[in-house]
């Protein structure tokens, strides 16, 4: 898109490195069998994903002298207070992170030949019965997926469901419960800029790597694997993440998962200190739908980005001629601006404020909202063609603005 000056890089390691091989049969991802554990069965009714808002544990108060790791116990007196949390988070959560290895097979240039490609990313254990979370782009186009646990045991994976719009995919493996360590979900609507976070993933295939940083900003928008779509409400972080980190977990200082590491902004495809994670509240909502239905249907309101202010949300960017724009919402839009510099005609895309001032969104269908995530969640409960009412403040007065939701796969105008 013209107005994007940075490059969003998906964090899949060695994707699409194709080598020419003799023809061989492959098993479709959606119908794989585990050669060790037999056919993979998905119990959509009784599988329960982690609940949002786990209280976690105040790790600053945990004594290292009683730690289960003898090495940590021996060195407890040498560990500084600011180091303790990172050590405990890694001990608690590193076994929840898995390697996701993909294989792609394409027709080769010669008769009876095939091109084989490989990719590698990260994944997160969600349940004791083997539900694994990862990014959609990690497994996109794969003919087979293998999940490797912390102990080196590998299992074939079956696809439960995928949502390219939010870059979320759910997989299922048959592995012993004793080898599966599910994460706990926090509440990403309570995150603050400046909060310390910890990322665990498999950069460049180096498994279960821990990095630390802070939340740099909130409610960012990044490109979705789905063409012409964007992921909204994203967490920006400065913790080092690199190719292979996609699908790994972002934790707060209590060891609660608050996001899934998804992309970086970088012209070279490696860590630049600007990373992005899909918030756990979005993941929880989408994952529960995928578990129940296998796919997600949603309406699109045509608001690309919002800014949280005291009392509500400011539409920082809306789609030209999108549903919100057609309904009359006042927000910033993109426009082509032509200027003349020393006789040279220059075209550029700029954000243009609305005439009469910008609206403030304070609710959806009468329900007050305080964050971008709350807004997205309330809107996406509705199907394309349904009407939602935005409660707004315009020029100091409260108003109701009906908006008919559009199709999520419409091209941006």
Active site positions, annotated:
137, 167, 246
Which value, to the nearest 10 degrees, does the dihedral of the CA atoms of residues 103, 107, 111, 113 take? -10
**What are the C-alpha distances in Å from 41 to residues 30, 171, 328, 355?**
11, 11, 49, 57
Please tell me the distance from the alpha carbon of residue 25 to that of residue 406, in angstroms, as a whole number. Answer: 42
CA distance 111 to 132: 37
Rg (C-alpha) for the chain, rounded Å, is: 23
Residues 44, 172 contacting (CB under 8 angstroms): no
Q: What are the backbone angles phi and psi of residue 395, rounded to the nearest 5°?
A: 55, 40
Question: Are residues 103 and 26 in contact, defined by beta-carbon separation less than 8 angstroms?
Answer: yes
CB 263 within 8 A of CB 271: no
Beta bridge mates, 148: 99, 154
Neighbours of 398 (CB within 10 A): 11
- Helix 280-293 to helix 372-379 angle (10° resolution) is 20
Angle at Cα 156 formed by Cα 154 and Cα 159, nearest 5°?
Answer: 135
- Which string of b and e fits 157-190 if b means at least 16 CB within 10 Å? bbbbbbbbbbbbbbbbbbbeeeebbbbbbbbbbe
Angstrom distance (rounded) from CA 12 to CA 202: 10
């Amino acid at each position: 898109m013209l107005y994007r000056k940075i490059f969003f890089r998906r964090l899949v390691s060695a994707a699409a490195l194709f080598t020419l091989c003799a023809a061989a049969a492959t098993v479709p991802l959606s119908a794989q069998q585990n050669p060790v554990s037999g056919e993979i069965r998905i119990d959509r009714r009784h599988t329960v994903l982690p609940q949002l808002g786990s209280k976690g544990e105040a790790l600053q108060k945990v004594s290292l002298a009683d730690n289960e790791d003898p090495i940590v116990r021996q060195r407890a007196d040498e560990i500084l207070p600011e180091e303790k949390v990172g050590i405990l988070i890694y001990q608690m959560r590193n076994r929840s992170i898995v390697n996701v290895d993909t294989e792609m097979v394409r027709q080769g240039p010669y008769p009876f030949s095939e091109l084989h490609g490989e990719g590698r990313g990260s994944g997160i254990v969600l349940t004791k019965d083997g539900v694994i979370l990862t990014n959609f782009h990690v497994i996109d186009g794969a003919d087979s997926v293998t999940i490797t646990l912390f102990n080196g045991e590998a299992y074939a994976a079956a696809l439960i469901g995928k949502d390219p719009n939010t870059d979320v995919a759910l997989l299922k493996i048959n592995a012993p419960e004793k080898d599966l360590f599910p994460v706990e979900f926090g509440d990403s609507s309570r995150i603050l800029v400046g909060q310390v976070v910890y990322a665990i993933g498999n950069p460049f295939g180096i498994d279960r790597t821990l990095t630390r940083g802070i939340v740099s900003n909130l409610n960012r928008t990044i490109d979705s694997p789905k063409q012409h779509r964007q992921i909204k409400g994203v967490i920006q972080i400065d913790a080092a993440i690199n190719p292979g980190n996609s699908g790994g977990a972002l934790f707060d200082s209590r060891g609660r998962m608050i996001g899934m590491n998804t992309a970086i902004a970088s012209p070279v495809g490696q860590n630049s200190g600007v990373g992005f994670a899909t918030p756990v509240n979005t993941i929880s909502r989408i994952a529960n739908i995928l578990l129940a239905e296998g796919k997600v249907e949603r309406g699109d309101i045509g608001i690309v980005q919002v800014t949280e202010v005291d009392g509500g949300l400011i539409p920082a960017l809306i789609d030209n001629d999108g549903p919100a724009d057609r309904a009359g919402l006042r927000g910033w839009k993109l426009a082509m601006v032509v200027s003349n510099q020393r006789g040279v005609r220059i075209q550029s895309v700029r954000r243009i404020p609305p005439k009469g001032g910008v609206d403030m969104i304070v609710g959806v269908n009468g329900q007050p909202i305080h964050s971008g995530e709350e807004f997205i969640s309330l809107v996406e409960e509705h199907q394309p063609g349904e009407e939602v009412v935005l409660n707004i403040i315009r020029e100091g007065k409260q108003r109701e603005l009906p908006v008919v939701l559009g199709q999520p796969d419409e091209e941006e105008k």
